[in-house]
Amino acid sequence: MTHEQLIFIWFLLIAVLWIGFFFLEGFDFGVAMLYPVIGKDPTERRVMINTVGPTWDGNEVWLITAGGAMFAAFPGWYATLFSGLYLPLLLVLLGLIARGVAFEYRALMPDDNWRDTFDWSATIGSLIVSLVLGIAFANMWRGMPVAGDPPHLTQGLLELFHPFGLLGGALTVTLFIVHGAVFLCLKTADSVREKANRAVKMLGPIAVALLAAFIVIGNIAYPASNNPYLGSGAGVAMWVTGAISVAALGYAIVMHSESGNQARENQAFIGTGLSILMLFVTIFIKMYGTLGFVSADDSFNMNVAASTPYTLRVMSIAALIFVPIVLAYSAWSYYIFRKRISTKNMPAATNAPVSATSGY
Amino acid sequence: MDAQVLARWQFGITTVYHFFFVPVTLGTAWLVAVMETRWLRTKDVQWLRMTKFFAKLFLINFAAGVVTGIVQEFQFGMNWSEYSRFFGDIFGAPLALEALVAFFLESTFIGIWIFGWDRLSGPVHNLMIYLTALGGTISAVFILAANAFMQNPAGATYNNGRAELVDFSMLFTNPFFIAAFSHQIPAALMVSGGLLAGVAGWKLAKVAKEAPEGTVHPDAGIWRKTAKMGAYVLLVASIAVMGSGHYQAQVGAKFQPMKLAASEGLLDTQTAAGFAIVGIYTQERDAEGITRVTEVFSWEVPYVLSVLAFNDPNAEVQGINDLTEQYLTDGHRAWDGSRNQLQEEFSSELAQLSVDPVPNVMVSFWSFRMMMGLGFVSMGIALLILWFTRKGGTPPTNNLWKYTMGTLPFFPLIANSFGWILTEMGRQPWIIYGVLPTWTANSPNVGAASVLTSMIAYTLVYGIIAVVVLKLFFTYIAKGLPDVSPPKVRTDDDAPLSFAY
């Protein structure tokens, strides 16, 4: 394979990893952001937490792998982006820490304050990560200026909070909340399931509006034609993928089911999943070649940022072997915990650290 | 302070902190897996209780390790962008593979294990924690291979203004990788063995005291077995640690003679070099910006250093002064005057930079001795535990025993920290040994204010995590063995789960 082909494949793979992360961890974030809405009752909140309990950590590895893959395949991208977005990424890391400790520690002390503190920590952490990554990807759609050798971001921190950036942040937060609510509809029973369906109905239209605005403004204000690496078809493609994203989200909202119809809930989850997929496909199309940057003399692009063909080939072989294995056992873990859970399933001694029924 | 120095401090703080949790995770996963196997084999519910007791401690530790580990994956790009750009073609691959091959394995199967008691049959459930442990150990393979490249950049060439990979397999045949892996895995087991032995040794004394006169506490037996298990693991692992440590010193003497000289306070090249048990050294930069080291005091045992470094009491060991002169005239060289491909190809560019080749001698010297000393102390305590528990014996229930047991896990743990402080501080001034100095590699566009902000934020958050982790550890150790009923695979969807957060 030529270097160009390898670079294309790795750009694609990194897009897949980010999309996988947003699809999977998107509902984890959404569930945590919904604690204050759906989970006011402690037992119901506990049900919510335990829908993602067994799998959230594996979902987060998609992000770690995306970061690692950027480092390995495009060291220049990793270096310029991560140092350029230093403070926003710091917020992401602090958010991930805040929510990461919450799962394991919340139930370990028989104390309401302790538990509520960690649940808020999960909610706020998830909100920060969703918001900042949304702002960041909106800016990558827009294109961030780089210059110099080595190439570095030349815009200030405040420039990230351009209205389109803020729209992106608001969008990811709302979209993940709806995705999380749809996920809860699928994974819970009784009261939590009803409340989750109601949340989809209430918040869904807002998400559709934000998504539609984001796609339309993005495609008009920062169209594919800005990107020298894209052919003439890309503009159409971005409109099409964007439109599918909006339509899929609309479909998910229509499919929500207060009467608890499993088939409709399945469709709704496919809808929000497809919507997230297509949103980020649209953004990654725009980032092709430029990696989400604008360099006046084209001194920085994916070819400059890429690793050698040899490294990319080694990595490709590893990915070819391990990605299917990872997908297989991840799917198995979801299969094991496929059953809906409800307040009835919560072990009796809610907060007791040690009891016969809660195991350890 | 300038941004580069702050970035180094931040990397040091966050990495040392993260590494408090890593050895515990690496070793304890295997030990908990073995405990569960012992339960399945013996059908003795006491082993199930012990499995769940240590699983709790393991998971408290694991969560802290996971969240502090995320920072590490991003920090290279955020704070060390020029390092990432220059060496990413080589260094990025093991990091990406660590995530793909190891982290997915570890994170997915630990989730299944925690929640799967009532969903999987006994042996399959047990397999889940073995796979988790395997994931941890594989992650050590990749990250140590990446680090070995920083110590001895084998398998790379200088091309297109950066280092490029020429042979992926050389990341794993690098003698520094072989030395570090064979040193780190048993070193982690020393920590976990210390954790088991310390906790169980204390609990054994405590329950023995609680039991009415003339009776035996029902849990005394299992605490004794666990204390012995931990002590044996620590002792057997320590033999492996000493063997691989000796190998590591020999590799260091060959390829990083300056680090070895600094860690031994050896100023002048000597045959039949002695090993300084204690020493005090001062260092300062001369007018040319080169560090000059003076010995204030040292107490040496003859021949030992030559044996340590070359297995020969009369071998010549290179000293700091001679190595400095050699660096200034001829650049970095291994003990036999050789350089590897990348060091050779980059040497003319490197000659343009004025590099002071001497690391901090006191830090290198004392972290080496702290590492060994703490390791030996933990071995002594493990022997003491075996002595007191022989033939069903019970240790004394006084405060001295309590504090000895309470501190036991920290001896090998802090020894791990000092080992890495030696490895990384002794590597200075190089970020990649003999190729690029650290001060060229940080992110030029991340200013001191930004680094200071993040450093304060990490320190605060990590401080809170430390308080929470210690509080939870003490609480759960105090609670002792949980009551359990052997899990059954669920048949009723409405029944309570075996475990929920």
- Give the one of A336, A340, A345 whose C-beta lies nearest to B119's C-beta: A336
**What was the pLDDT predicted at B177?**
98
Using 50, 70 and 90 to split pLDDT, how confident is the model at A356? very low
**What was the pLDDT predicted at A360?**
33
Lowest mean pLDDT among A346-355, B439-448, B481-490: A346-355
Domain-embedded: residue A357: no
Cα(B201)–Cα(B211) distance, integer angstroms: 16
**What was the pLDDT predicted at A358?**
37
Judge whether residue B193 has pLDDT over 80: yes
pLDDT digits (tens, 9 = 90+) for B392-426: 999 998 999 999 999 999 999 999 999 999 999 99
Domain-embedded: residue A321: yes
* A256 to chain B, closest Cα gap in Å: 24
pTM: 0.94
User: Cβ–Cβ of B96/A68 closer than 8 Å?
Assistant: yes
Domain-embedded: residue A10: no
Using 50, 70 and 90 to split pLDDT, how confident is the model at A359? very low
Which of B36, B89, B169 best probes binding to A when mutated, by most A CB atoms within 10 angstroms? B89
Kindly state the DSSP code that residue B98 receives in the 8-state scheme: I
Contact between B401 and B309 (Cβ < 8 Å): no
List the single residue in B with minimal CA-CA distance to A305. Answer: B85
Using 50, 70 and 90 to split pLDDT, how confident is the model at A353? very low
User: Cβ–Cβ of A308/B450 closer than 8 Å?
Assistant: no
Contact between B51 and B117 (Cβ < 8 Å): no
Pairing of strands A293-295, A144-147: parallel
* Residues across chain B: 501
Instruction: Give the count of beta carbons closer than 10 Å to the beta carbon of residue B96.
Output: 26
Residues of A whose CB is below 8 A from B85: 75-76, 79, 150
Run of H or E residues at B156: strand B156-159
pLDDT digits (tens, 9 = 90+) for B62-94: 999 999 999 999 999 999 999 999 999 999 999
Three-state secondary-structure class, residue B432 = strand
For A233, the token pair is 């078809």
Mean pLDDT within A114-119 = 95
User: Cβ–Cβ of B92/A68 closer than 8 Å?
Assistant: yes
In terms of phi and psi (left: phi > 0; alpha: psi -120 to 50; beta: otherwise), the region of B331 is left
List the single residue in B with minimal CA-CA distance to A355. Answer: B483
Lowest mean pLDDT among A26-40, A171-185, A237-251, B206-220: B206-220
Domain-embedded: residue A141: yes
User: Cβ–Cβ of A72/B96 closer than 8 Å?
Assistant: yes
User: Cβ–Cβ of B77/A83 closer than 8 Å?
Assistant: yes
For B138, the token pair is 């594989």
* A103 to chain B, closest Cα gap in Å: 7
Can you give chain A as a three-state secondary structure string?
Answer: CCHHHHHHHHHHHHHHHHHHHHHHHHHHHHHHHCHHHHCCCHHHHHHHHHHHCCCHHHHHHHHHHHHHHHHHHCHHHHHHHHHHCHHHHHHHHHHHHHHHHHHHHHHHCCCHHHHHHHHHHHHHHHHHHHHHHHHHHHHHHHCEEEECCCCEECCCHHHHHCHHHHHHHHHHHHHHHHHHHHHHHHHECHHHHHHHHHHHHHHHHHHHHHHHHHHHHHHHHCCHHHCCCCCCHHHHHHHHHHHHHHHHHHHHHHHCCCCCCHHHHHHHHHHHHHHHHHHHHHHHHHHCCCCCEEECCCCCCHHHHCCCHHHHHHHHHHHHHHHHHHHHHHHHHHHHCCCCECHHHCCCCCCCCCECCCEC
List the one residue out of A169, A34, A160, A42 whose CA is nearest residue A107: A42
* A246 to chain B, closest Cα gap in Å: 32
pLDDT digits (tens, 9 = 90+) for B266-324: 999 999 999 999 999 999 999 999 999 999 999 999 999 999 999 999 999 999 999 99
**What was the pLDDT predicted at A13?**
97
User: Cβ–Cβ of B96/A76 closer than 8 Å?
Assistant: no
**What was the pLDDT predicted at B486?**
83
User: Cβ–Cβ of B104/A326 closer than 8 Å?
Assistant: yes
Cα(B472)–Cα(B211) distance, integer angstroms: 26
Using 50, 70 and 90 to split pLDDT, how confident is the model at A351? very low
Domain-embedded: residue A38: yes
List the single residue in B with minimal CA-CA distance to A93. Answer: B71
Which of A6, A71, A116 best probes binding to B when mutated, by most B CB atoms within 10 angstroms? A71
Higher pLDDT, A328 or A349: A328
**What was the pLDDT predicted at B214?**
85
List the one residue out of A296, A330, A258, A250 whose CA is nearest residue A20: A330
For B498, the token pair is 């075996």
User: Cβ–Cβ of A79/B88 closer than 8 Å?
Assistant: yes
- Give the one of A61, A93, A103 whose C-beta lies nearest to B501's C-beta: A103
Run of H or E residues at B164: strand B162-165
Is the preceding peptide bond at A150 cis, omega within 30 degrees of 0? yes
Lowest mean pLDDT among A314-323, B13-22, B214-223, B230-239: B214-223
Domain-embedded: residue A294: yes
Q: Based on the structure, what is the number of domains in chain A? A: 1
Q: What are the DSSP calls for B358-422, one per residue?
A: ---HHHHHHHHHHHHHHHHHHHHHHHHHHHHTGGG-----SHHHHHHHHHTTHHHHHHHHHHHHH
Residues of A whose CB is below 8 A from B450: 86-87
Phi, psi of B432 (to 5 degrees): -120, 120
User: Cβ–Cβ of B81/A150 closer than 8 Å?
Assistant: yes
Mean pLDDT within B457-482 = 95
User: Cβ–Cβ of B99/A64 closer than 8 Å?
Assistant: yes
Residues of B whose CB is below 8 A from A100: 63, 66-67, 70
> How many CB pairs below 8 A link A and B?
285
Residues of A whose CB is below 8 A from B58: none
pLDDT digits (tens, 9 = 90+) for B439-448: 999 999 999 9
**What was the pLDDT predicted at B492?**
85
Domain-embedded: residue A359: no
For B313, the token pair is 């009491």
**What was the pLDDT predicted at A292?**
95
Contact between A318 and B100 (Cβ < 8 Å): yes
Cα(A174)–Cα(A272) distance, integer angstroms: 11
**What was the pLDDT predicted at B478?**
94
Which of A24, A56, A86 best probes binding to B when mutated, by most B CB atoms within 10 angstroms? A86
List the one residue out of A280, A331, A304 whose CA is nearest residue A138: A280
List the one residue out of B103, B109, B104, B136 whose CA is nearest residue B125: B109
**What was the pLDDT predicted at A349?**
55
Percent of chain B with pLDDT over 90: 93
User: Cβ–Cβ of B444/A337 closer than 8 Å?
Assistant: no
**What was the pLDDT predicted at A355?**
39
Cα(A174)–Cα(B5) distance, integer angstroms: 41
Mean pLDDT within A82-95 = 97
Which of B17, B70, B71, B472 best probes binding to A when mutated, by most A CB atoms within 10 angstroms? B70
* B237 to chain A, closest Cα gap in Å: 29
Mean pLDDT within B447-459 = 96
List the single residue in A with minimal CA-CA distance to B114. Answer: A54
Domain that holds residue A249: 24-342
Contact between B260 and B249 (Cβ < 8 Å): yes
pLDDT digits (tens, 9 = 90+) for A270-308: 999 999 999 999 999 999 999 999 988 888 999 999 999
